[in-house]
Amino acid sequence: MFKGLMASVSGVRGIIGEGMTPEVALLWASGFGSWLRGKKVVLSRDSRPSGAMLAYTVKAGLLSAGCDVDDIGITTTPIGALSVVRRGAGGGIIITASHNPQQWNALKFVRSDGRMLTAEQFLEVERIVVNGPLRSVSWDKIGTEVNWDGADQMYLSGVLGLGLLDLDRIRRKNFRVAFDGVNGGGSFIYPKLLEALGCQVTSINADGSGNFTRPPEPLPTNLGDLGAKVSAEKCDIGFAVDPDGDRLAVVDERGNPIGEETTLALAIKSVLEQRPGPVVVNCLTSQVIDDIAAQYSVTCYRTKVGEAYVSEKITDVHAIVGGEGNGGVILPELHAVRDAGVGMALILNLLSGSKKSISEITAQLPSYYMVKASHPVGENNPVELVDATASKFPNDSLTRIDGVRIGYPDGWVQMRPSNTEPILRVYAEAKTKASAEKMAHDLINKINEVAATL
């Protein structure tokens, strides 16, 4: 029914004009408004040029279902999610394709508590979209819309009010910080946050235009310009985000990216130094998190990949911190949503309490090497391809929290269908680069062999 549309716990996304069209957005917004039975919805979007077009259709679908709409405009996913709670809304829709290329866009659905929908709740919305009935109110019950401009100040107050932060100590350091906003939704708010933390900020790719002048995912290979800026300006640290501002990458004072897995490790270390407690990460996150948790004698729980799964487990076990190894830091003291701004604040707090540079702090973490690869599924069903490939390995080496993880004496390799793209994601981790690369290479070869027989 929705050709070219990726529908999962991460929302619905597709290429504009193909899988994601005004008609599709209208239908899903109507379905979400029907699921909420006409409760208020907070609407936000990142800076992609297609966002305005989708916002009009989403707003129409919500208003027709009787939902009042608080439109907060272009901003980050963390601010959109937090606004749902602070505005007392029944839910939220965030128009963003996150790290996907510019031709993509998507709808993310938020619950009344500011968390993303669970898998079960998303299926409930999907059933309404597919089977109906869609709520359509009479002329005198149509929702009303307002534009709310208080979201940025609300967010700044929330982050700066975190009990874990020693604001005076951070501000005394007067850190020099370089920031790369990929011209996305965080282009303006994150420099404001850094300045409020006493930092001298120099920004690149931060005009909010939605013109992604680098690949939108803040991977080390995409951060050359930020590294050069850090070196040229003699900065203490560099921060980069994705277009919707929920994922954070770090460049050290020498201009070298430290890797998004290390972003999460530093943030978690910052929290546990002050407030030890349970940690939750997804099953693809580096073993370094388990090692850090062990240092502080706390439990590290693992979930399926996806922010909704991590957030749900954080709530269930009353975790103090969590996230995903893609640079997504979740601090439930503010909200159970990946938040790059919170990650920046936590890492600056860690750095301010040490006499070491960020490269020296990073060098003291347990060392692993991780390979992350994407593999197209072609015409194959991704779940069937994963299962068929798994049958070629001994059962006692397999773990199935999400997709299939294959354990080896010196590391692990995992394959799983992506929630956001028609690909398999292959991750491998070991103590050495050669071992991790070999595990990933061997698994991809096996996937190709199996795909040829399906």
Give residue 1's pLDDT.
Answer: 59
> pLDDT digits over 36-61, tens only?
999 999 999 999 999 999 999 999 99
Q: Give the whole-angstrom CA distance, residue 223 versus residue 390.
A: 35
Task: Characterize the bridge pairing of strands 69-74 and 176-180.
Answer: unpaired
Average pLDDT, integer, range 22-28: 97
Average pLDDT, integer, range 346-364: 97
Residues classed as catalytic: 98
Nearest Cα neighbor of 209 from 246, 243, 245, 238 is: 243
Q: Give the whole-angstrom CA distance, residue 20 versus residue 24.
A: 6
Domains 6-149 and 154-363 share a fold: yes
Q: How sure is the predictor about 11, in pLDDT bands with cuts at 50, 70 and 90?
A: very high
Q: Which helix (H) or strand (E) holds 256?
A: none
Residue 46 in contact with residue 243, Cβ under 8 Å? yes
Q: Give the whole-angstrom CA distance, residue 451 versus residue 7.
A: 23
Nearest Cα neighbor of 90 from 64, 118, 109, 108 is: 109
Give residue 372's pLDDT.
Answer: 87
Whether the pLDDT of residue 407 is over 70: the answer is: yes
Whether the pLDDT of residue 274 is over 70: the answer is: yes
> Distance between alpha carbon 454 and the CA centroid of its chain, in Å?
33
Q: How sure is the predictor about 452, in pLDDT bands with cuts at 50, 70 and 90?
A: confident
Q: How sure is the predictor about 374, in pLDDT bands with cuts at 50, 70 and 90?
A: confident
Sequence letter at residue 366: P
Q: The domain 369-451 is classified under which CATH number: 3.40.80.10, 3.40.50.970, 3.30.310.50, 3.10.129.10?
A: 3.30.310.50
Q: How many CA atoms lie within 13 A of 381 on its CB side?
A: 5
Average pLDDT, integer, range 421-446: 92
> pLDDT digits over 73-98, tens only?
999 999 999 999 999 999 999 999 99
Q: Is 134 helix (H, G, I), strand (E, B) or coil?
A: coil
Average pLDDT, integer, range 295-304: 96
CATH code for the domain defined by 6-149: 3.40.120.10
Q: Give the whole-angstrom CA distance, residue 234 versus residue 223.
A: 16
The percent of residues in the chain predicted with pLDDT above 70, rounded, is: 100
Residue 321 in contact with residue 272, Cβ under 8 Å? yes
Q: How sure is the predictor about 410, in pLDDT bands with cuts at 50, 70 and 90?
A: confident
Give residue 8's pLDDT.
Answer: 86
Q: Give the whole-angstrom CA distance, residue 49 versus residue 349.
A: 35
Between CA 388 and CA 394, with CA 389 as vertex, the angle to 5 degrees is 105
- Global pTM value: 0.92
Instruction: Give residue limits of the domains in the chain.
Output: 6-149, 154-363, 369-451
Q: Give the whole-angstrom CA distance, residue 272 versus residue 286.
A: 17
Q: The domain 154-363 is classified under which CATH number: 3.40.50.150, 3.10.270.10, 3.40.120.10, 3.50.50.60?
A: 3.40.120.10
> pLDDT digits over 240-271, tens only?
999 999 999 999 999 999 999 999 999 999 99
Residue 33 in contact with residue 65, Cβ under 8 Å? yes
Give residue 418's pLDDT.
Answer: 83
Query: Who's near 232: CB < 8 A, 6+ residues apart?
Result: none
Please state which of the ranges 147-161, 185-199, 305-319, 393-407 shows the lowest mean pLDDT: 393-407
Q: Which helix (H) or strand (E) holds 302?
A: strand 300-303
Q: Is 395 exposed, middle or buried (0-12, 13-18, 19+ CB in 10 A)?
A: exposed
Average pLDDT, integer, range 89-114: 96
Structure tokens at 197: 């933390």
Give residue 19's pLDDT.
Answer: 94
